[in-house]
Structure formats: structure tokens, C-alpha cells
Amino acid sequence: MSIRIVLADDHKLMRDGLKALLEKHTDMEVIAEASDGRALLRLIGELSPEVVVVDVVMPNLNGIEAVRQISAQFPEVRVVALSMHLNRQFVVGMLRAGAAAYLVKDCAFGELYRAISAVVQNHTYLSPRISDTIVEQCVYPAQTSIDTLGSSALTSREREILQLLAEGMDTNQIAGQLHVSVKTVGTHRQHIMSKLKIYSLAELTKYAIREGITSL
């Protein structure tokens, strides 16, 4: 049987290229594509793929937060992170969220094929170029990225709302997107600002961009 795969990347050209390459192998089948993390979660619930290939930075719900939710809701699904980013905050963030593999986008296609083959056998796979990042994290854990800069104090819902705020949505739009009340969104916004000690939307946006929560 073919390995059932969902691709998630906000660039259609990238998705098209990956699909064409993967489907040259009879043991792999791309069953759906998503342009953001929220659409990815919906497709997983509907289609039950074995593997998802996920970009780190996507609109609406970024890759790290999407993988956290996949790990919680669909623990049987294996995640391959595919990104242009090599810095620690992205690599460590995706692995801690639950990704089983991390590749850089300029890798050879054979490496993606090997990574997917590995994760379906419950192995992990890292691009050789990622190794230094992981070693550095083990040797200098106190200097690591997101968790030392405050956003680890945010709940999953607060991270979602921070991304949507940074991407220009107002309180009413966020409430509609997440199917919660305007009052609930306002409360989360206050908690985000209090935890991060950032009290303007402009500074929240800068923070979200710096931490890779959004790509804007």
C-alpha cells in the first residue's frame, strides 16, 4: 500500500513540485494539500494520512503550533518538517512540538524520500545540516530560542491569537475565525501582553515576526 501524505506549504509552486516528485514513487501518494496550518488540521481529521510534510512558517496557524496540535489530536500521524530555516528556534521548536524529521528546503529530493520512509517506521530523521544546531542545543540549552524568550509561557490558544493579531486581524475577525466570543479574544489578548510584558500591537507584531510565529 502507498504511504498517504498531506503537504502543507503556503507556496503552491512548492506543493506542486513536491507532489510531482513524490508521486514518481509508487509507494507514496499525496492525498491532499493545505496552504496553512488550520487547513492542515482539518484535512488530517477528514483523511487520516500517515505522514504530513509541513512548512514551519505559514499564515493563520504556523507550522510549530500546527504540529503541537497534531501531536495532541492525531498522535499516530508522523510529521516531516520542511523549511528554509536553519536557526535553532525553528529546528528545536518543531522537534519539541512533535516533528519526527526536519529537512531544509534545498535538500536533494532523495533526502525527503528517505525521511518519509524513516518516519513511517517510527524513526527520526534530520538533515545532516541540522546536526550542528541540535548539538548546540544540547551543549548550550540555556541559550535556546523560544522557550527562553517568553512565548513558552503562552498557551496554545494564546499563541494562535498572537499570530492572528500580528497578521492584521481585529478582535471580531479572530473571534469568528476561532469560533469564540469577542470577550474571550480580548481576555486572551490581555494575558498575552501581560505574560510577554509587551503592551502595543506594533511591538507584539515585531515579537511574533522575530520568534517565527508569523512570516509577515
Tens of pLDDT, residue by residue over 80-126, are 999 887 777 788 889 999 999 999 888 778 889 999 999 999 999 99
What is the reported pLDDT for 88? Answer: 78
CA distances from 95 to 35, 72, 138, 148, 208 (A): 21, 14, 13, 16, 19
Q: Which residues of 183-204 are buried (b: 16+ CB within 10 A; e: fewer)?
A: eebeebbebbbeebebeeeeeb
Q: Cα(33)–Cα(36) distance, rounded to whole angstroms?
A: 9
The full set of domains in the chain, from first to last, is: 3-139 (3.40.50.2300), 150-210 (1.10.10.10)
pLDDT value, residue 137? 59
pLDDT > 90 in the chain, percent: 56
